[in-house]
Amino acid sequence: MSGLVHGILSLPGWLVLLVAGLVVFSEDALFVGFVIPGETVALLAGAAAKLGHVSLVGVLIVVIVAAIVGDTVGYEIGRHVGPRVLQLKILQKRRKRLDEAEGFLARRGGSAVFLGRWVAFFRAVMPALSGTARMHYPRFLSYNAAGGLAWGATVVLLGYAAGASYAKVEKTFGRDAAFVVLAVVIVALVVWRVRKHRADRRADARNGELSGASRPSHP
């Protein structure tokens, strides 16, 4: 992790933007969110902005646009060749997670596109699943745009805030210690987001069960 932090923070500004945009786009368009750390790279790009390596506004624009366009490409791929894509070996190895994503989309519809953006695996497959399910594109786009905007701004600004800690530690203890602190802060932020989403999902499931149990049975 510290190697990734050092590599990205050492890049010139234009390359930070290029790497962040390509990784976020690929994560959403090519169903590899469980391989390519789009969230982590966006966090690091935000940290690089705090350190003055790149413009914060530039990072926000690139990450948000890459997220929205990447989801749109994923949707179109799912719409045209979805069933074949879902049979890919890399997805079949994660069949249980894929079934969870399909069930989530079936229950929540458009809001699943927005909420799914906050979990790496769902973020990677939800656009293609939406296309395969033939969700109306205007509906998909509205939730996709809202999710891309909210997620992109949140992750980049969290990275920007983490970059402030990096700068303070570097000044006091040196560069190596600062890399370690920044890596720990970013990992903690990612883990917190994933756990919070899982807890919300379990709460939704319990509420659904209680709601079902409270319905009167009909002969």
Kindly report, residue by residue over 35-84, the tens digit of the pLDDT: 666 887 888 888 888 888 889 999 999 999 999 999 999 999 888 887 77
CA dihedral over 121, 127, 131, 133, signed as positive or negative: positive
Q: Do 162 and 46 contact (CB within 8 A), yes or no? A: yes
- Tell me: the pLDDT tens digits for 73-112? 999 988 888 777 777 776 777 778 888 888 888 888 889 9
pLDDT above 90 coverage of the chain, percent = 21
Confidence (pLDDT) at 169: 43
Question: How far is it, in rounded angstroms, from Cα 60 to Cα 113?
Answer: 20
Question: How far is it, in rounded angstroms, from Cα 30 to Cα 40?
Answer: 17
Q: Which residue has the tokens 């205007």?
A: 138
Beta-carbon contacts of residue 170 (< 8 Å; ≥ 6 apart): 177, 178
Q: Do 42 and 20 contact (CB within 8 A), yes or no? A: yes
Question: How far is it, in rounded angstroms, from Cα 160 to Cα 17?
Answer: 14
> What's the one-letter identity of residue 120?
A
Confidence (pLDDT) at 180: 53
Alpha helices in the chain (DSSP H): 2-9, 13-29, 38-50, 56-85, 89-92, 95-108, 110-116, 120-132, 137-173, 175-214
